[in-house]
Amino acid sequence: TTNVLRSNCRVTNQPDWGDVFIVTNGYKRVTAESLLKYIVSMRKENHFHEEICECIYKRLFTLMPNCDIVVTCLYTRRGGIDINPIRYNNFDFALEHFEGLMDWAVPNHKTERQ
């Protein structure tokens, strides 16, 4: 978990700040240091929120193909619309680890920063 996620809006080039939550389970691992470097590298990217979440997920899935992976990006609200993508390859694993963070029945649950 980190709150240093930042990317730039593809349309306005304004910075979008967010928190990223990543949970993995499997025999392969990435180091926290390399993962943080990758997340910070997103600051040079101009993509929509969903694309950033997908990029992180795909990179992890490429490195750890037989592992359970959940990535969610909770962005600071800008412009009145919440866009908080989540990407996973095992729903039960996602539900187990994000039960306290997300209310799956209520899609507009907010974090303190939002």
Nearest one of 74, 78, 56 to 9, comparing CA atoms:
78
Q: Are 19 and 6 in contact (CB under 8 A)?
A: no
Q: Which residues form the catalytic set?
A: 9, 16
Q: Two tokens at 83? A: 């866009």
| Relative orientation angle of helices 32-41 and 49-63, to the nearest 10 degrees | 150
Nearest one of 27, 15, 10 to 75, comparing CA atoms:
15
